[in-house]
Amino acid sequence: MISKNSKYLHILISTSASTANLGSGFDSLAIGLDLWNHYHMTINLKDELSKDIKQYNIEISKDSYQTPNMFNIEKNYFTRTFSHFVEKFSQYHVCKNKQRPIDVYQTNYIPHERGLGSSSSACVAGIKAAIIYMKEVYDIDIKNNDKLIDNDDIASFARDQDSCQDNVCACLAGGLTMVFMNEKSDDKGLHDSSGKLNFFRYPIDDNDLRFILIIPKFLSKTTELRVPLAKMNYKIEHVVFNLTRAICIPEIFKNKRYDLLKEAVKDKVHQKPRSSLLYLPKGDTPYKTPILNDIFKKSYEYGSYATFVSGAGSSIAIISNKNRAKDIKNKMSYYLNDIMDLESIRILKPTNEGIKHTTFYSDINQPECT
């Protein structure tokens, strides 16, 4: 029987992958992709735990991505974000000393540490789960500066847990998102908004557009791949080069001027400094330098609209028409077979759907994320 008098509250949340930067739009542009992680949280409403007893039980679907860190409450981005957010907003409420048994079931279809927004997916889902939890269990509407939390607030809180602000917004809202962060200030007043994320969204209104994702076996950590960028002394012409291209990308998609994408995604800020850490060829090959430019050239020979590193890597994104996508995928697979250790090459649609969620009550603790 579905009733608030039932033993368990079920919160089901799905969040999508995303590809960020789009070449020239470093830390500011991203597009949601039709590949999803699913999170099913069940809260035992009848029992309470003392603070010294483990609150969470985490299970990961066997047919999905999993790592040892995902079973650690503080290293699993979903449970970490959920618990931090609940603690932050329950400190002045009666629920602050209460702890309920929680089971978490995850199905992770987004490859982790491959530049496809897996951590952003988990952080956004964790915050949404916390908002629902506080409302359903304690009838508390979470507010920020005396107003109900909106998507900008959710994005800002997720950014506190995950450094990829562009992925966060695309995962939250879907479509093509453009984001900037308010300058941080040490002079924090009552309604401080320093560090707040602000974002805008364009839908991707083209059912013929496809993203071909080259997904290597090797992993990449965004924090480590920011290190070489901090050492760069950028020329003003390089900054202008990226800026003038990035601001045009949303209009290029809106007007379907895909003939301009190859030029618009060119980058002089982040891809080259990172390439020597990611795209060295495998084994004993004649290549002595990073192969990223060779991969780009081949994709354009095969008919792509645009090619760029997805986020911080290691995945590479190719944009094409759906009629060319399978042919490009097959040709790139053949070309890369001898020079890169590939996990897979996937063809995905962009998605205009943001975070999806549902809630129900039952007397059965049964996972839905399978």
Global pTM value: 0.91
Residue 339: Cβ within 10 Å count: 18
Query: What is the per-residue pLDDT for 88?
Result: 81
Residues 6+ apart with CB under 8 A from 10: 40, 41, 42, 359, 360, 361, 362, 368
Going by pLDDT thresholds of 50, 70 and 90, the confidence category of residue 118 is very high
- pLDDT, average across residues 303-317: 95
The winner for highest mean pLDDT among 88-92, 185-189, 221-225 is 221-225
Query: What is the per-residue pLDDT for 11?
Result: 96
- pLDDT, average across residues 46-71: 79
pLDDT for 257-268, tens place per residue? Answer: 999 999 999 999
Range from 12-26, 62-76, 145-159 carrying the lowest mean pLDDT? 145-159
CA–CA separation, 305 and 23 (whole Å): 13
Query: What is the per-residue pLDDT for 55?
Result: 77
CA–CA separation, 268 and 234 (whole Å): 9
- pLDDT, average across residues 47-51: 66
- Mean pLDDT, the chain, as a whole number? 87
| pLDDT exceeds 50 at position 83 | yes
Residue 133: Cβ within 10 Å count: 24
CA count, 13 A, side-chain hemisphere, 346: 16
Of residues 90 and 18, more confidence is placed in: 18
| pLDDT exceeds 90 at position 221 | no
Query: What is the per-residue pLDDT for 98?
Result: 65
| pLDDT exceeds 50 at position 2 | no
Cα 6 → chain centroid = 34
Query: What is the per-residue pLDDT for 296?
Result: 95
CA–CA separation, 361 and 349 (whole Å): 33
Range from 35-44, 81-90, 352-361 carrying the lowest mean pLDDT? 81-90
Kindly list the structural domains of the chain, giving each domain's residue range(s) and its CATH number in brackets, ordered by start.
8-202+351-362 (3.30.230.10), 209-348 (3.30.70.890)
| pLDDT exceeds 60 at position 190 | no
| pLDDT exceeds 50 at position 286 | no
Rg, Å, the chain Cα set: 22
- pLDDT, average across residues 65-82: 90
Query: What is the per-residue pLDDT for 326?
Result: 98
Going by pLDDT thresholds of 50, 70 and 90, the confidence category of residue 184 is confident
CA–CA separation, 190 and 28 (whole Å): 28
| pLDDT exceeds 90 at position 238 | yes
* 3-class secondary structure per residue, the chain: CCCCCCCEEEEEEEEEEEEECCCCCCCCEEEEEEEEEEEEEEEECCCCCCCCCCCEEEEECCCCCCCHHHHCCCCCHHHHHHHHHHHHHHCCCHHHHCCCCEEEEEEECCCCCCCCCHHHHHHHHHHHHHHHHHHHHHCCCCEECCEECCHHHHHHHHHHHCCCHHHHHHHHHCCEEEEEECCCCCCCCCCCCCCCEEEEEECCCCCCEEEEEEEECCCCCHHHHCHHHHCCCCCHHHHHHHHHHHCCHHHHHHCCCHHHHHHHCCCCCCHHHHHHHHCCCCCCCCCCCCCHHHHHHHHHHCCCCEEEECCCCCCEEEEEEHHHHHHHHHHHHHHHCCCCCEEEEEEECECCCCCEEEEEEECCCCCCCC
Going by pLDDT thresholds of 50, 70 and 90, the confidence category of residue 290 is low
Going by pLDDT thresholds of 50, 70 and 90, the confidence category of residue 339 is confident
Query: What is the per-residue pLDDT for 191?
Result: 41
| pLDDT exceeds 80 at position 294 | yes
| pLDDT exceeds 90 at position 149 | no
| pLDDT exceeds 80 at position 54 | no
Token pair of 359 as six digits: 């809630």
Token pair of 288 as six digits: 């002595």
Range from 38-42, 246-250, 284-288, 340-344 carrying the lowest mean pLDDT? 284-288
Long-range pairs, 46-54, Cβ under 8 A, ≥24: 46/7, 47/100, 47/101, 48/98, 48/99, 48/100, 49/99, 49/100, 49/101, 50/99, 51/97, 51/99, 53/99
| pLDDT exceeds 90 at position 370 | no
Angle, CA 163 vertex, CA 162 and CA 166 arms, to 5°: 100
